[in-house]
Amino acid sequence: MKLPILLLSVVMVACSNDPAPSANSEQAASAAVAALQGSGSASGKDLYAACSACHGANGEGNKALNAPSLTNQQSWYLERQLLGFRSGVRGSHPDDAFGAQMQGIAKTLPDDAAVKSVVAYIDGFKAKPAAATLTGNAKRGADYYSNLCGACHGPNAEGNDKLQAPALAGVDDWYLLQQFDHFSKGIRGSDESDRYGYQMFMMGKTLPDAEVAKDVVVYIQSLAD
């Protein structure tokens, strides 16, 4: 199960294609769907019990299941992404296997109120920056970030609510890299009805290659508190 969040959230994987969901990931997703389907008018805490199968009891994430941490992603962004999965505007591309999992799970939430409820519960988790997993040229990444990303996402990757640009600092670096890769290939954001995703789809074409994208993410990770 994965939430975007980011990002846009923005971004990316070092390899050219995502691996297929693992057996453990599939089992966790199936368990999550079953729990949500039986939740009825459950509280946010009850609804999150299904999410914890992949994202962890405290929203800490699980890279092995391709599930990012949720604790450093803003509530308005998480809500927007869940609604995007529910509507099918996100997770419908045939090459987005993990997005398809999230779409199936999000669609079991009965209504917008349930989305708000589970996001409010997630918002109660203690924020903790995700650990760095990537290495690269942070100086080069800083140059590209300042020129291309900072105007929307902020000089310190703190995000800008008015521009609907989520914070990036503290989000899992591997997840950011994966999502940028998806944006650059049109796996995410190519649907023009996804206004902010489409903006990132266009921005995904501005970085010259995957190594520069990784350097940008390494720099973003260096800004985490």
pLDDT, residue 11, reads: 30
Comparing 10-19, 50-59, 145-154, the range with the smallest average pLDDT is 10-19
Q: What is the pLDDT of residues 88-133, one digit of tens each?
A: 999 999 999 999 999 988 998 989 999 999 999 999 998 889 999 9
Does residue 15 sit in helix, strand or coil? coil
On whether 153 is known to bind a ligand per the annotation, the reply is yes
**Residue 67 per-residue DSSP state:** B
Of 1, 124, 119, 133, the closest CA to residue 58 belongs to 124
Give the Cα separation of 11 and 211 in Å (integer).
Answer: 13
pLDDT, tens digit, for every residue of 34-70? 555 554 557 899 999 889 999 999 999 999 999 999 9
Please tell me the predicted confidence (pLDDT) of residue 117: 96
User: What CATH code is assigned to 138-222?
Assistant: 1.10.760.10
Please say if the pLDDT value at position 16 is more than 90. Answer: no
Residue ranges, comma separated, of all CATH 1.10.760.10 domains in the chain are 23-122, 138-222
pLDDT of 197 reads: 94
12 is known to lie in a ligand binding site: no
User: Is 93 known as a binding-site position?
Assistant: no
Q: Is 102 annotated as a binding residue?
A: yes
Residue 50: the pLDDT is: 83
Please give the mean pLDDT across all residues of the chain.
86
Q: Which residues pair with 91 in a beta bridge?
A: none
pLDDT reading at 218 higher than 70: yes
DSSP 85-152: HHHTSSS-STT-HHHHHHHHHHTTS-SHHHHHHHHHHHTTSPP-PPPP-----HHHHHHHHHHHTHHH
User: Would you say 15 is a known binding-site residue?
Assistant: no
pLDDT at 9 over 80: no
| Amino acid in position 132 | A
- pLDDT tops 90 at residue 6: no
Tokens encoding 128:
């903790």
- 23-122: CATH topology is Cytochrome Bc1 Complex; Chain D, domain 2 (1.10.760)
48, HSE (Cβ side, Cα atoms, 13 Å): 21
For residue 4, pLDDT over 50 is answered with no
Tally Cβ neighbours within 10 Å of residue 106.
Answer: 24
